[in-house]
Amino acid sequence: MTRRRAAALAALLTVAALLGLAAAAGAATAPVTAQSALGVTGNDACFHCHGQQDMQNRTIDVGGEQQDIFVDRALYDASRHGGLACTSCHIGFKPGLHGADETQAWLITAKLTACDNCHADVFAMYRGSFHGNLVFGESSGKAPVCADCHVAHNITPPGSAAFRASIDSLCARCHPDQLKTYLDSYHGKAFFLGDAKTAVCTDCHGGHKILPPSNPESMVSKHNLVATCAQCHPGANENFAGFMVHVDPQSPRSSFAVWTFYALYIMLIAVVFTFGFVHTALYIYRGIKDGLYRRNRHG
Amino acid sequence: MASTGETVTAESAPQTVRTRIEYRRFNVFHRWMHFLVFVSFTVLVFTGMPLKYKDTEWARWFMDLFGGVTAAGVYHRIAALVTVFYWTLEFTFMVVMVLRSRGKLLRSPGSLMPGKKDLEDMIGMFAWFFGKGPKPQFDRYTYWEKFDYMSLMAGTVIIGMTGFMMWFPLWFTKVLPGIFLNIALVIHSNEALLAMGVIFIFVHFFSAHARPESFPLDKVIFTGSVPVDHYKAERPLEFARRVREGTLDEVLVEKRLTWRIYAADVLWWTITAFAGFCAILMTAFIIWSVFD
Ligand code: HEM
């Protein structure tokens, strides 16, 4: 009896506190953006469930993938979208247990097009890119969508070191060969060992308008490559841009010239090291056998 | 004690300072050169190899130790400038010496030029290893010392040129196509491994420490001279030649055996211990990454 009453009281107090907080938050962040017109206050209702770290059934099955429905409020509020209502992306969601219409619609289209409402320019670029075509075009396949690169509830400024550091592992999921060759070139080595200024995938390929090198609009097409390198290497010319980022020295098919030098050096190293090892070992053997180590001690 | 009784000759010196007649193998110039090579090469290896073996755990340790890739790159470039400096100095010195002697120096048995005798010596050494003959007698430089010197001088040109291509890629691609930069990286990276193997493991370190004649440490590159008897046994041909030509006096020095000599010994041992530690460490790291 008393337990139930206590629980009710606690719930009441919680609601009161939430309302108070919401009012304060609403007052403080009211003029952040036009989009916040939807009202930050609405988010409290969503966080009432989605902000609970210890809620039951925290993971749901989304197209075979397990996803966590917990949303970290501290991260969300501190992110670039901190002033946005949940419902500006999750259009039509109402607090409370959601109906199938809400969730199904979100999963199929809204997840891809929600961003379009406010970032139409970026979306248009993405839509025309190779990846965008894979997602929306007829030749459907698995390609990264907005929320694969930008963490949906923790949008960080794309220039930040943390965001840049995450890009390579993201592309690597689907382009492991290019990651390997990139990591073997100077940019990749420096990136791997913690250099934040060096080029990552999207510095050369762009974030949204990723196109194959054969497409003249691509940042890595013959047409644009010099300008792409010149972002960080002012004064770059055609020759400079001819440096091959994705070359595998160990494969003759990648670049025969580079492979030739690689193979020659590997042979040279093998010969010199083998000879050195044999010579050294025999010398020591003879020295021990003849007791030279003891006899020739000098100071 | 380090002093060998029979070579102490000046017992009659006024303040009873003991002295010893030694054979001067390296002059001050040689010794300073070696010091520059020693320091710059160690820095180059330790700031370069972590890039080559970036996947390994130790690569991260070293980059953290140096304060990041960018900082390591700066040290690498400073050491590279030291390398250019000593190489140019040594090369000029050699050219001047050879010109002054009107080319005679190159043909002298004591020169660093490889010749027919070196091949014979090498065959002779292998015969000796297998107990099939006496140990060959050497002149001023053995064949492995010549190889060591020549490979360092030639290797530095290769590694330096490719290094500068990577340092100033924009400048070099004013004329060269971009693929040269890819090739430069492959050459630099593998030449570095080759040079490290030669210097740190097989030729150089072995000949200075692990050979029976020099075990456990040949200090001559630091002290410049060694007791006459010892030198006579090690390089009999050079010794005999000097006796024959009457030029032995030029290289004999009287060393005063004061406490300074012993203090210096401690320093040489410390430096060598450090160098040995570096060499073993880097060798272990590379073996580690090969089998990783
Ligand atoms: C003599 C002039 C030299 C110059 C100008 C030079 C310059 C360079 C430059 C610009 C790089 C690119 C990485 C960076 O920016 O830090 C590099 C990498 C490297 N250097 Fe040097 N270097 C020289 C000598 C040496 C020597 C003597 C060694 C070792 C024996 C060495 C070992 C390395 C290694 C292992 C790398 C990494 C290669 C890789 O990524 O696989 N360098 N050097």
- B4 and A236 within 8 Å at the Cβ level: the answer is no
Distances (CA, A) of A148 to A107, A131, A145: 14, 12, 5
Q: Which of B20, B182, B228 to mutate to test the interface with A (most CBs of A within 10 A)?
A: B182
Of B69, B178, B185, the CB nearest to A193: B69
Q: Is the pLDDT of residue B202 over 80?
A: no
Q: What is the pLDDT of residues A32-81, one digit of tens each?
A: 333 333 444 578 888 888 888 887 778 877 767 777 889 998 999 888 89
Ligand 1 atom at minimum distance from B87 CA: 1
Q: What is the C-alpha to C-alpha distance for residues A98 and B76, in angstroms, rounded to an integer? A: 61
Q: Which residue has the higher pLDDT, B103 or A9?
A: B103
Cα B111 vs. chain centroid, distance in angstroms? 16
CB pairs under 8 A between A and B: 144
- B69 and A195 within 8 Å at the Cβ level: the answer is yes
Mean of pLDDT values over A7-26: 44
- B69 and A242 within 8 Å at the Cβ level: the answer is no
Averaged confidence pLDDT in chain A: 80
Distance A185 CA to ligand 1 centre (A): 13
Question: How close is the nearest chain A Cα to the Cα of B182, in Å?
Answer: 6
B56 touches ligand 1 (CB under 6 Å): no
Question: How close is the nearest chain A Cα to the Cα of B187, in Å?
Answer: 7
Q: What is the C-alpha to C-alpha distance for residues A88 and A118, in angstroms, rounded to an integer? A: 9
Mean of pLDDT values over B40-56: 92
Averaged confidence pLDDT in chain B: 86
Q: What is the C-alpha to C-alpha distance for residues B81 and B160, in angstroms, rounded to an integer? A: 9
CA-nearest residue for atom 36, ligand 1, is B48
Among A144-148, B66-70, B226-230, B277-281, the range with the most confident prediction by mean pLDDT is B66-70
pLDDT tier for residue B124 given thresholds of 50, 70 and 90: very high
Mean of pLDDT values over B79-107: 91
Closest to A277 measured CA to CA, from B283, B285, B218, B290? B283
The percent of residues in chain B predicted with pLDDT above 70, rounded, is 94
Question: How close is the nearest chain B Cα to the Cα of A168, in Å?
Answer: 15
Q: Which helix (H) or strand (E) holds B102?
A: none
Q: What is the pLDDT of residue A108?
A: 60
Mean of pLDDT values over A240-257: 92
Q: What is the pLDDT of residue B178?
A: 93
Ligand 1 atom at minimum distance from B83 CA: 1
Q: What is the C-alpha to C-alpha distance for residues A61 and A63, in angstroms, rounded to an integer? A: 6
Q: Is the pLDDT of residue B214 over 70?
A: yes
Q: What is the pLDDT of residues B140-195, one digit of tens each?
A: 888 988 998 999 999 999 999 999 999 999 999 999 999 999 999 999 999 999 99
Q: Is the pLDDT of residue B14 over 70?
A: no
Of B169, B177, B215, the CB nearest to A293: B215
Classify B143 as helix, strand or coil: helix
Q: What is the C-alpha to C-alpha distance for residues A236 and A227, in angstroms, rounded to an integer? A: 8
Q: What is the pLDDT of residue B234?
A: 84
Distances (CA, A) of A105 to A86, A151, B257: 16, 21, 93
Q: Is the pLDDT of residue B127 over 60?
A: yes
pLDDT tier for residue A15 given thresholds of 50, 70 and 90: very low
Q: Is the pLDDT of residue A87 over 80?
A: yes
Q: Which of A179, A238, A239 to mutate to test the interface with B (most CBs of B within 10 A)?
A: A239
CA angle A233, A239, A243 (to 5 degrees): 70
For residues A184-220, one letter each, b for 16 or more C-beta atoms within 10 angstroms of the residue's C-beta and e for the rest, the string is bbbbbbbbbbebeebbbbbbbbbbbbbbeeebeebbb
Instruction: Map out the domains of chain A as residue ranges.
Output: 32-118, 251-299
Q: What is the pLDDT of residue A27?
A: 37
Q: Is the pLDDT of residue A30 over 60?
A: no
B213 and chain A in contact, CB less than 8 A: yes
B192 touches ligand 1 (CB under 6 Å): yes
pLDDT tier for residue A139 given thresholds of 50, 70 and 90: low
- A276 and B173 within 8 Å at the Cβ level: the answer is no
Among B3-12, B127-136, B232-241, the range with the most confident prediction by mean pLDDT is B127-136
Q: Is the pLDDT of residue B16 over 80?
A: no
Q: Is the pLDDT of residue B276 over 80?
A: yes
- A193 and B63 within 8 Å at the Cβ level: the answer is yes
Q: Is the pLDDT of residue B1 over 70?
A: no
Q: What is the pLDDT of residue A138?
A: 62
Q: Which of B4, B202, B283, B289 to mutate to test the interface with A (most CBs of A within 10 A)?
A: B202
Mean of pLDDT values over A212-220: 92
Backbone dihedral region for residue B16 (phi beyond 0: left; psi -120 to 50: alpha; all else: beta): left
Distance B185 CA to ligand 1 centre (A): 9
Q: What is the pLDDT of residue A107?
A: 65
Phi, psi of B201 (to 5 degrees): -110, -70
Of B54, B68, B182, the CB nearest to A247: B182
- List, in order, residues 6 or more apart from A121 with CB less than 8 Å away: none
In chain B, which residues have their Cβ closer than 8 Å to the Cβ of A265?
A: 186-187, 190-191, 194
ipTM score assigned to the predicted complex: 0.85
3-state SS, chain A, equals CHHHHHHHHHHHHHHHHHHHHHHHHHHHHCCCCHHHHHCCHHHHHHHHHHCCCCCCCCEEEECCEEEECCCCHHHHHHCCCCCCCHHHCCCCCCCCCCCHHHHHHHHHHHHHHHHHHCCHHHHHHHHHCHHHHHHHCCCCCCCCCHHHHCCCCCCCCCCCHHHHHHHHHHHHCCCHHHHHHHHHCHHHHHHHCCCCCCCCHHHHHCCCCCCCCCCCCCCCCHHHHHHHHHCCCCCCCHHHHCCCCCCCCCCCCCCHHHHHHHHHHHHHHHHHHHHHHHHHHHHHHHHHHCCHHHHCCCC
Q: Is the pLDDT of residue A151 over 50?
A: yes
Q: Which residue has the higher pLDDT, A210 or A33?
A: A210
Question: How close is the nearest chain B Cα to the Cα of A200, in Å?
Answer: 16
Distances (CA, A) of A93 to A79, A105, A121: 21, 10, 26
Q: What is the pLDDT of residue B204?
A: 73
Of B129, B186, B203, the CB nearest to A249: B186
Q: Is the pLDDT of residue A200 over 60?
A: yes
In chain B, which residues have their Cβ closer than 8 Å to the Cβ of A193?
A: 50-51, 54, 59-60, 63, 68-69
Q: Is the pLDDT of residue B52 over 70?
A: yes
Q: What is the pLDDT of residue A53?
A: 83
